[in-house]
Chains A and B, each alone.
Chain A
Amino acid sequence: MKRFIPEPRRPETLFDPCIKCTICVSACPVAQTTATFPGPKQAGPDAQRFRGRGEPVEGPWINLCSGCYRCQVACPADVPIAEINLFAKQRYAAEKGRDVATELLTHAHWFNPWGQRFHWFATPLLRMKWARWLAEKLFGVDRRAPLPTFARESFRTFARRHESPRAKHKVAYFYGCFTDSNAPEVGRAVVKVLEAAGVEVIFPVQQCCGAALIGAGNFDRARRQDAANLAAFEQALDQGAEAIVVGSPSCALALSHETGEVLGLGHSAVYSRVVDLFTYLHRLDEAGELNLKWKETPLHAAYHEACHLTALGFGAHAPALLRRIPGVQVRVLDAGCCGLAGTYGLKHKTADLARQIGAGVARRVAEWRPDVVLSECEGCRMQIEHLTGVPAKHPAEVLADALVE
């Protein structure tokens, strides 16, 4: 199916409502950490006012924006600051190109199948000091940054085999690359919880959501991938799926938001149907249809709300649901951004900054000493484990384990 692709939103009109209140500045994790980044207000609406067609681009500082959206979320005037920055990154990349690390990391979905096929080799390799040293020198991938492990069996393979029982409700599941190659157990947990809740799950053929590509200003590639995703999931909706449950907040943001607003892929029925797992469960609950039984599960958990989950605008529904499991204690961290932000925490250029940004989260985790940190976002989970040594899980995994079958 070929899509009509209109012009994306025009960045030159987006800065008008900015009243220079600086609220975004106090929300930006990067600006608090380094003076080399001018901050969301200056980099976003202020700078955009000075960018002209065909004029030279500004310095590389724009690439220091991690794309966490915290500024945009905080802005009381609806200035899409993070998006302005994305447009600026695209403009910058179009003139100056992208570095190797960015290219490599934003195309992880190309390598993942290989890493996953040769997981017995790839996973240990990515843990070897010399290999990491080499990767840093050659590709700019920070040697201390957290990297995922490759799974024995991809989620995709599981899904191909899996037959979800027919039920009253039906959803399409967008599991995302990480779940596919690196954490299929999360995908299986999501499916298990949904099915227990009386929901049939289907798995449309899907590609990488392109969140990382968009974050690096590589809109063309992302457009191709997401046009295919929209087509596949529109079809799923036609086939009776009532929602598109997305496991990872960043994928959800890309599919529901950036695809239309930033990539300009036109209107799609997909956007408004994208939800995170817990919002979907909350809706079932509000309709009086969530009848899950829990077994006693002693667990002291800290919940970390991923920046991109916040940006989705649903708020975190996970803590309330988790608290229903007898024995589970959940406290919301509310300690800011973990710093990983897609590829930010992986690139050598920004990895240190990412660790500094995550210090607030690390401090609070150290203070609270939970058994586990829960977060829907895989990046956050990797980074928090890396920074604190406390295991991190997707909250769906806790639900799945606590289900009385």
Chain B
Amino acid sequence: MSEKDTMIRLEGIKKRFRTKAGELEVLHGVNADIKKGEVFGIIGLSGAGKSTLVRCINLLERPTAGKVWLDGVELTALPEKELREQRRHMGMIFQQFHLLMQRTALENVCFPMEISGVPKAQAKTKALELLELVGLSDRTDSYPAQLSGGQKQRVAIARALATEPKVLLCDEATSALDPNTTAGVLSLLKDINERLGITIVVITHEMSVIQEICDRVAIIDGGLIAEEGSVEEIFRAPKTKIGQELVMHEGSNREAYTGKLPYCYRLVFNGGKENEPVLGEMMIETTGVVNILAANTRTIDGQDFGQMVVQFPEEKELREKMIQYLRERGVVVEEVEYV
């Protein structure tokens, strides 16, 4: 990838916090290249350091070590005043929206323009346009307290777009919303990415969010990027344990199982549901029975993927025969740890 295709470059980002218990290193040297115009996902379990990492991108949090570039400008080398200028190229939205409670939706969207000195009338015109873009033309004079969570997030998105940023940073932007509202907000983000060409960085702990809108994804674990690749790659064959965990537990009730189950495998069916009967055929053919632990279907880039986590029988010979049968029919089978 050439220099000029890169929107955000992170180089050796380390972040240590000083706490009462001593120094805590949360990020151990994160590298990432986020391309212009892509939707880049960062996924990880709670406490993995996702929020810290995204806050290091716009330097709300100063990295202890490492460099951050935005469109060729090294942000970590800038003095405060110039950094503030650069921040106008990056919009940010948050899980808890963080709107100004004493301002209307319209006034909230005007806020960043007020700060950067855009004339009032011009700011208002632009704000009305943006509120229309996010589908809130009829709520311009409402205060945040009068809006639903999804509407508040839409105001926050409009506000983040007001300075015509190159990048939109989203930290768990849909985590406080119900599934329907989440879908609406995600499709709005995708739309913004496609129509305005804005690079989007999505932080989430939900694989479904990644699958919905991301082009590429990085999995963060223990303060490091564990693996990175296209969403399809990661979903089809996660290489790391954390990757498998995130992909597998999507939509399943992990509390239902206690302890580690033996002989667990993850099956991926290309083409989704239609190909799942192969499992039944296999069971008839080999007379071996599997125990289905989790299953779902996902559409990634218009392609259906069905995935299942199953437990095979203990008997080694039978188990290998069954796996052989599936593999011959194009099913991806990999042993996993299912806890």
Pairing of A with B: no
Q: Which residues of B contact A (CB under 8 A)?
A: none
Q: Which residues of A contact B (CB under 8 A)?
A: none
